Amino acid sequence: MVGVKQKEVRIGMIGYQFMGKMHSHAYRDLPFFFDTEARPVLQAVAGRNEAAVKQAAEKMGWASYETDWRRLIERDDIDVIDIVTPNHTHADMAIAAAEAGKHIIIEKPLALTVEQAERMAEAVKRNNVVHMICHNYRFAPAVQYAKKLIQDGVLGRLYHFRGNYLQDFIIDPAFPLVWRLKKEVSGSGALGDIAAHSIDLARFLVGDIHEVVGTMETFIKKRPIGEMVGGLSAKVDSDQMGEVTVDDAVAFLARFENGTVATFEATRFAAGNRNKNTFEINGEKGSIRWDMENMNNLEVYLTEDAPGLQGFRLINCTEDIHPYAGAYWPPGHIIGYEHTFIHLIYEFMKGVTSGESPRPNFEDGVKNQKILAAVETSAQTKQWVTIDY
Ligand code: SOE
């Protein structure tokens, strides 16, 4: 960074699979495109399998590795702990990291339960460390631009939010019983894994949710025992079957504190939809809609357009005026999924410098967790549930 003295921020990451690869890439790419006072250094990565973590460290450019996450947190040459492990490990790791005075960045959902999430939020506050939760989609330039349009009043009063997150990677009944399908490890299924992203987008763009009513379903109740093998692939380890203890699909209605009405749907059983994370917002002066699989585009409809010219216009959010986009290539030279994580890490690095936790942070994580819990309660009781903030 020309003219500004950079400070090294030494990262210790726990886990190294799909999201570990994604975060490693973001730390490494950040200085290519963004100027930050804090320069991330890939200091050490932790994992239990020594051969595998050593190989991951070498491949992704980490200077060292540990086979015990507690040892990583104890190290005095680490400033930030990055947690990319399955959800049941989050609370212990984050609380230990906060107690050790490390800043924390963590994958979603924050925890398994509201009680855990609250203890984590209390620990980061008490130890005065910077904290952030990885809801990456709000960092797509088109989503940030949607937020600007809403803030500028372009849509006027908001009436509807419609959030869908559709996947199909477990639709085959032979897909094994991996950690993502066990409640004690993941907390919930489609709800915490992907509806959580839609909830974050909704809270970012519209505001706080007041109440929800929903339904959840598990279509395939038993699966062969197996494990994830990177990305969203898995392998069967045994011909024994185990019980699926999370939801395959969830749908819920919500009312926001500002009166906006919403519908949400998340499923891993929508054949043909690989990562269809979409939202549409309808306001008194127009509508916007976004589709992750065409993430550079924002569709905008304005009621004030002249008769005959009315219709959704397609904005390719790759111009300098679109948040983050100007840091990359000339207009029209699109960016992708991994760049949303670069933007998230950029905000986190700015937070480490300023001492202010960027949004979404652990307080957002607790609110999101309360919404997840309320949807589950509502699915069980078949009643509307008010969120108790
Ligand atoms: C699997 O459903 C997954 O990798 C999620 O865990 C991520 O959070 C989501 O962004 C993509 O899909």
**Model confidence at 91: pLDDT above 80:** yes
Q: Are residues 331 and 250 in the same domain?
A: yes
Q: What count of other Cβ atoms lies within 10 Å of the Cβ of residue 330?
A: 9
Q: Are residues 66 and 175 in the same domain?
A: no
Q: Are residues 45 and 149 in the same domain?
A: no
**Does residue 387 belong to any structural domain of this protein?**
no
Q: Are residues 124 and 229 in the same domain?
A: no
**Model confidence at 3: pLDDT above 60:** no
How far does the centroid of ligand 1 lie from the alpha carbon of residue 197, in Å?
9
Atom of ligand 1 nearest to the CA of 18: 4
Residue 213 · residue 378 · CB < 8 Å: yes
Any ligand 1 atom below 6 A from CB of 232: yes
Residue 376 · residue 216 · CB < 8 Å: yes
Last residue of a domain, one of 109, 136, 163: 136
Any ligand 1 atom below 6 A from CB of 193: yes
Q: Are residues 237 and 312 in the same domain?
A: yes
How far does the centroid of ligand 1 lie from the alpha carbon of residue 194, in Å?
6
Any ligand 1 atom below 6 A from CB of 167: yes
Per the structure, the complete domain to which residue 48 belongs is given by 7-136
Any ligand 1 atom below 6 A from CB of 194: yes
Nearest CA to ligand 1 atom 5: 193
Locus of tokens 């003295």: 5
Last residue of a domain, one of 113, 136, 159: 136
**Does residue 112 belong to any structural domain of this protein?**
yes
Q: Are residues 112 and 151 in the same domain?
A: no
Atom of ligand 1 nearest to the CA of 136: 10
Q: Are residues 230 and 301 in the same domain?
A: yes
**Does residue 193 belong to any structural domain of this protein?**
yes
Mean per-residue pLDDT of the chain? 97
**Model confidence at 2: pLDDT above 90:** no
Atom of ligand 1 nearest to the CA of 137: 10
Q: Are residues 268 and 123 in the same domain?
A: no
Locus of tokens 């009944």: 173
How far does the centroid of ligand 1 lie from the alpha carbon of residue 137, in Å?
11
Q: Are residues 323 and 206 in the same domain?
A: yes
CA distance 192 to 212: 15
Q: Are residues 207 and 193 in the same domain?
A: yes
**Does residue 105 belong to any structural domain of this protein?**
yes
Q: What is the secondary structure of 21-59 as a DSSP string? A: HHHHHHHHHHHHH---SEEEEEEEEE-S-HHHHHHHHHH
Nearest CA to ligand 1 atom 10: 194
How far does the centroid of ligand 1 lie from the alpha carbon of residue 83, in Å?
15
Kindly compute the dihedral angle of the four CA atoms of residues 105, 106, 109, 113, in this order, to the nearest 10 degrees.
Answer: -100
Q: What is the pLDDT of residue 231?
A: 87
Domain of 112, CATH number, reads 3.40.50.720
Q: What is the pLDDT of residues 293-346, one digit of tens each?
A: 999 999 999 999 999 999 999 999 999 999 999 999 999 999 999 999 999 999
Q: Are residues 96 and 162 in the same domain?
A: no
Q: What count of other Cβ atoms lies within 10 Å of the Cβ of residue 26?
A: 23
**Does residue 1 belong to any structural domain of this protein?**
no
Nearest CA to ligand 1 atom 9: 194
pLDDT bin (cut points 50, 70, 90) of residue 6 is confident
Last residue of a domain, one of 136, 166, 184: 136
User: Which residues face 261 on adjacent strands?
Assistant: 160, 255
Domain count for the chain: 2
Q: What is the pLDDT of residue 230?
A: 81
How far does the centroid of ligand 1 lie from the alpha carbon of residue 222, in Å?
22
**Does residue 341 belong to any structural domain of this protein?**
yes
**Does residue 386 belong to any structural domain of this protein?**
no
Name the residue among 279, 290, 254, 263 with its Cα closest to residue 370. Answer: 254
Task: Tell me the mean pLDDT in the region 213-218.
Answer: 98
Any ligand 1 atom below 6 A from CB of 87: no
**Does residue 389 belong to any structural domain of this protein?**
no
Q: Are residues 224 and 246 in the same domain?
A: yes
Q: From residue 122, how far is each of 68, 91, 97, 261 by CA, in Å?
A: 25, 11, 13, 31
User: pTM of the predicted model, to two decimals?
Assistant: 0.97
How far does the centroid of ligand 1 lie from the alpha carbon of residue 337, in Å?
11
How far does the centroid of ligand 1 lie from the alpha carbon of residue 193, in Å?
6
Atom of ligand 1 nearest to the CA of 19: 4
Residue 317 · residue 297 · CB < 8 Å: yes
Name the residue among 281, 242, 315, 311 with its Cα closest to residue 162. Answer: 281
Domain of 168, CATH number, reads 3.30.360.10
